[in-house]
Amino acid sequence: MALPERSVPLLCATVGGAALLAALLTSPAGAETTGAGCSATGRVEAQWGSRTGGGQVVSVVVANTSAATATRWSVAWPLGAGRQVVSAWNAAVTTTPGGDATAVNAAHNGLLAPGASTTFGMLLSGVAPLPALACDNGTTTPTTPATPTTVTVSTADNLSTVRLRPGDTLVVSLTSLHLPPKLSATGVLQQLDVAGGYPTSQPLVARYAATAAGTVDVSTTTDIACNHEPTPCPSPQVPWTVHVVVTA
């Protein structure tokens, strides 16, 4: 049965008497919870008795924290075993056998401009601390994960910086004279495979998966067979490095 908000003082006076008046003067506030586009702040306005032998009058302020106008809102919370919603005003409250409760806006207070708020209240049987409130008004869109991309670097990218996100793939494509690359740090890139390069006489291709935010250098150098002979040939090794930055 819905109960008009103006009837709450009369109800409190008849249900709790002097003990209820004292509770009104010392009623504890509940924590604020921010959800999908809105926040819900609960407060115990009146309380009498203890545990299942008592009761509470609770008010909840629902605010639109998004940049878009909301046309509806809902607040959900675990009601707790043995507790019941006796009545509610300015919202329709339903409960489940498992002890969860959900309040949905009334016809007159679902429309909230950005920054606007409204209030609903309930008479509850039993006494317990206010639980966390989950608020949703449908104004926010779940973030769509970025589509993984593949970035290929070659000899022309020496000393450049590559920016990736976790899930992206880095492909190192170098000449047959390049040795398999090495990583300056662990935990940022994971080597998937490597093929070719010195001494296979095949172009070098190495693939890495970005696994976590951080920075790492991917480095290699050139090599030829005569560098390993008793008398090395005059062929200096040419270093190659790219600096990789992975951001979450």
> For strand 84-89 and strand 100-105, is the pairing parallel, antiparallel, or unpaired?
unpaired
- Over residues 19-46, the mean pLDDT reads 61
List b or e across 203-228, with b for residues whose CB sees 16 or more CB atoms inside 10 angstroms.
ebebbbebeeebebebbbbbbeeeee
Is residue 10 located within the same domain as residue 87? yes
pTM of the entire predicted model: 0.49
Is residue 129 located within the same domain as residue 170? no
Is residue 119 located within the same domain as residue 190? no
The yes-or-no verdict on residue 117 having pLDDT over 70 is yes
Cα gap 64→1, rounded to integer Å: 27
- Please identify, among 136, 169, 194, the residue that sits at the C-terminal boundary of a domain: 136
pLDDT of residue 96: 84
Cα gap 38→133, rounded to integer Å: 11
Is residue 161 located within the same domain as residue 123? no
Residue 113's domain is classified under what CATH number? Answer: 2.60.40.290
Is residue 27 located within the same domain as residue 53? yes
Domain presence at residue 114: yes
pLDDT of residue 145: 65
Q: Total structural domains in the chain?
A: 2
Is residue 128 located within the same domain as residue 183? no
Domain presence at residue 142: no
Cα gap 27→33, rounded to integer Å: 19
Q: Domain containing 35: what range?
A: 5-136
Instruction: List, in sequence order, every beta strand (DSSP E) within 70-132.
Output: 74-78, 84-89, 91-95, 100-105, 117-125
Query: 142-173, pLDDT tens digit by residue?
Result: 556 678 899 999 999 999 999 999 999 999 99
